[in-house]
Structure 1
């Protein structure tokens, strides 16, 4: 019998790689016991990059979400882990050192055991401070190698980085194959090389299914000493996501590895519940293409999780590009033609920008430059005319050292703009700010929360946190969800009137109890506007008043919790007894 291989369910990344949003906290708490009951997971990824921004976008408290989701796993003895972006913390751009340091104290207090620390450039100066912060806070730092395929990303390159990270105190190494383009043979040799030098170091493999190499890669790393494999589960496995635990378990079991058994009854329940979450609202934000694998990803090396946003970008410029082509009497491009042009341009751009591993945020930078180049070429203009500030920061070395050499053309372009290249610790470019945010909390009368967790959220996601506190985020999300629902119905070919009928069929009418003029308000002394679609009512809320001809104001109550899907009467309109004033769909609070 070969060694034991453990499984980690990447429940956060399953959603991240499928669409825009994560489940709400009530859904996470509901699914956690079933994940425990499945009995096959030694670890579960509970939070990290993008997770907390999503909570804030809902108008939901991310600290509550992390604490409540990690607790069932803590109680069951299952390790929890998060994803963090090193210098960038939990966001897409750099974070001051004092905010980074606070993050580990907060996350450890909230029940997160392990932090997977990565830098999109594999820059050790961005990772090593986080290793030390995690150790000081009682967390297990899992230092990460971002895997890609290029002439400079060799086994020797990665082993050298692993040596430095392990020497800095990392007891674990993650091979993060975010696009699934790592070649199985190379990954096996890399695993073996690290294990031979550092036999006590735990190696965890994380590979996306996108181009179809992941199962072969899993087998290779296991045969060469890997300890833990990241897996997904239906209905969000495969596609651009991760292999399913059932298939991985069967393959490794057949090869003689010791693997945990799966409680299939619990698996099926968790599978059905995850589908419920998709049907509830998350499916409106899942790009259908992310359910499919594509060998084309081997050509460009972009992560599968980016495909949704990239296709949205392409659709956004498609008509504009064809308009330009028509004006030049040139043939128009199909969307697939444009996709191949973009892939070709990524392939052209990437080496000239120094081969940054194509992972957040650098994959976005490379993709954006390629997209702008495609647009410029269609117009008959030269490449490189539209490079944004963040990409220039990467090029100039402000995010860390690039793995490869910049093309002479890029160096000359930078010099022509008067830009200076730097090679110093990237953290020096971002001074401490925590006390500024503490002052803002005090000024606003906001509680910093247990272990300063609310202060941390403001400092890490200041704009989103302010929107959350003001209620703007919740309102914005509700409007976005309603637009997504309407768009889904429109795609199915329903007319505007048919859409109204469908909404009404799912809702309950609120009717006038007397004849009179409708006043959409709560306080009759200050008339206001009708409620917006998406507004939430509780059973005790007043929906409106009816000003009767005999001078009374009759309250119209909601009597149940729900949201407005249609308003049928205008402010001040004369209505008769029994007329429908609005339709409200029953349901729990979205946030």
Structure 2
């Protein structure tokens, strides 16, 4: 018989790769004993990136949830692990050193055994401090290699990074194949290389199912020395998530590996409970597309977990692009046309920004650059004209060094815009902040919490924590949940019923005069032949919604009343409208 393979259940990532939110504390407490009863997991992912933040957004205390979920696993010797974004820790932007150091003390006290520390750029300067802080706090630091497929991401490239992480104190190495595009043969060779040089280092493989390579990759890494495999369970396995434990166990058992048996009665209980959580409320925030695999992901390398948000962004931009195409008399694009164009544009942008592995937050940056390029090219403005500071931060080196070479176009564009490149250690660019957050806690009379966990929560997620403490987060969440339920109910209505339903919760924007409707005004006395707004676009009170050119030539701005979200456009760009005509419907903003 071949070596023993351990299994890990990535319960946190199952939800993150499916939808927006995580189960509540009471739900986690219910399913933990059932996961233990399954008898096949030596590890469970209990928290980390995209766990605590979304708990706060739902008005829940993530510290209570982490402690409650970890406790039963701690008691039976099942190791718990978390996801740690290195320089960004548990959020999407850089975290001061003193807050990162506190994180490991808090997480260890809460019952988390292992921290999976990764950098989206594989810059060891963003990982090594976390290795040292985690070890000092009593945690097991797991150094992570973000896997992708490019000319610069070779076995030698990754092996050299693993050497540096192990030298710095990493006790384990994770191969994080976040998009599932790592080629099986390369992953096998990399596993063998690391194991040959470091036979005592445990290797854990984490691969998403998205494009369909994950089962072949699991077999390759196991045959070359991997020790632990991340898996999922129904109803959230496969799709953009991870392979199911049943299939992985069966494959490896048939290959001759020593694998644990699965208590199928407990599996079915866990499956039923997870579906119950979906039906209860979590499913309202799950994009159905995330339940499907797609070979298209191989071409662009984007992680499956962001497909839901990407499709929403894509549909909004498509409406704007189609407005421009229509005004030019050109053929409009379907969502499939747009998807292919976006993937092609990502393939164009990615090498030019230095092949950053497409994982949070760099996958979002590259996708957003590509998406904006599609829009601005349609408008005749060319590429790279709508890039924010976060996108530029990746290019300029503020988050670490990109693996490949930047296109000279970006170097010239940065110089033209007065932007400065840096090769400084990213974490040294951020000032410590814990004392300021202590002052805020004191001024508000807030308790620092057990093991300073509430202080840590404020320092890690300031805006979300303040909204949580004020009660605004729970109020907003309940409003969002009601909207999601309303939308689901609306999908079952006839067009007439749906319109009535939308209008009941919205205000009409009415034409005050006769004239010709325009949705933009270029400010020099003429209306612009521009685009209609897209459904979902938001307006603040006082914003102009559109303009009407009166018969006598005056341009009259039409306000968006008290503001809100656009749910229906009733009058087209350039239409002749009469006084009293309904132009659009804006859903009223929540109190």
Give TM class, smaller chain.
0.7 to 0.9
When normalised by structure 2's length, the TM-score is 0.84
Aligned to 2:443: 443
CA distance in 2, matches of 1:354, 1:36: 43
CA distance in 2, matches of 1:23, 1:491: 25
Aligned to 2:58: 58
Q: Which SS does the other structure have where 2:130 is aligned?
A: helix
The answer for unaligned runs of 5 or more in structure 1 is 502-591
CA distance in 1, matches of 2:385, 2:339: 21
2:22 paired with 1:22:
yes
Aligned to 2:119: 119
The answer for unaligned runs of 5 or more in structure 2 is 502-591
CA distance in 2, matches of 1:434, 1:243: 40
Q: Which SS does the other structure have where 1:41 is aligned?
A: coil
Q: Which SS does the other structure have where 1:47 is aligned?
A: strand
Aligned to 1:331: 331
CA distance in 1, matches of 2:383, 2:265: 56
CA deviations on 1:26-51 (whole Å, 9 max, x unpaired) are 11111100000000000000000010
Aligned to 1:291: 291
- The answer to whether the 8 Å contact 1:171/1:201 transfers is yes
- The answer to whether the 8 Å contact 2:490/2:498 transfers is no
CA distance in 2, matches of 1:388, 1:255: 50
CA distance in 1, matches of 2:318, 2:351: 26
CA deviations on 1:348-388 (whole Å, 9 max, x unpaired) are 00000000000000000000000000001111111000111
Aligned to 1:431: 431
2:369 paired with 1:369:
yes
Residue 469 of structure 1, CA deviation: 0.1
Aligned to 1:261: 261
Aligned to 1:387: 387
Aligned to 2:175: 175
- The answer to whether the 8 Å contact 2:121/2:357 transfers is yes
CA deviations on 1:45-104 (whole Å, 9 max, x unpaired) are 000001001110111111000000100101111000000101101000000000000000
Residue 499 of structure 1, CA deviation: 12
Aligned to 2:40: 40
Aligned to 2:193: 193
Aligned to 2:509: none
> Residue 259 and residue 418 in structure 1: after superposition, are their counterparts in 2 closer, same or farther (change >3 A)?
same
CA distance in 2, matches of 1:280, 1:6: 32
CA deviations on 1:211-253 (whole Å, 9 max, x unpaired) are 0000000000000000000000000000000000000000000
Residue 418 of structure 1, CA deviation: 1.1
CA distance in 2, matches of 1:307, 1:111: 32
CA deviations on 1:510-551 (whole Å, 9 max, x unpaired) are xxxxxxxxxxxxxxxxxxxxxxxxxxxxxxxxxxxxxxxxxx
Q: Which SS does the other structure have where 2:42 is aligned?
A: strand
When normalised by structure 1's length, the TM-score is 0.84
- The answer to whether the 8 Å contact 2:171/2:202 transfers is yes
CA distance in 2, matches of 1:479, 1:299: 38
Aligned to 1:204: 204
What is the CA RMSD across the aligned residues, in angstroms? 1.3
CA deviations on 1:399-453 (whole Å, 9 max, x unpaired) are 1111000001111111111111110110111110000000000000000011110
2:194 paired with 1:226:
no
**Aligned positions of 1:237-316 closer than 5 A:** 237-316=237-316
CA distance in 1, matches of 2:167, 2:382: 46
Report runs of 4+ in structure 1 exceeding 3 Å deviation.
494-501
CA distance in 2, matches of 1:319, 1:256: 53
CA distance in 1, matches of 2:499, 2:474: 24
Residue 493 of structure 1, CA deviation: 2.2
Q: Which SS does the other structure have where 2:344 is aligned?
A: helix
> Residue 498 and residue 150 in structure 1: after superposition, are their counterparts in 2 closer, same or farther (change >3 A)?
closer
Aligned residues: 501
Q: Which SS does the other structure have where 1:210 is aligned?
A: coil
> Residue 498 and residue 304 in structure 1: after superposition, are their counterparts in 2 closer, same or farther (change >3 A)?
closer
Q: Which SS does the other structure have where 2:392 is aligned?
A: helix
CA distance in 1, matches of 2:65, 2:436: 26
Aligned to 1:91: 91
CA deviations on 1:235-284 (whole Å, 9 max, x unpaired) are 00000000000000000000000000000000001001100000001111
- The answer to whether the 8 Å contact 2:211/2:296 transfers is yes
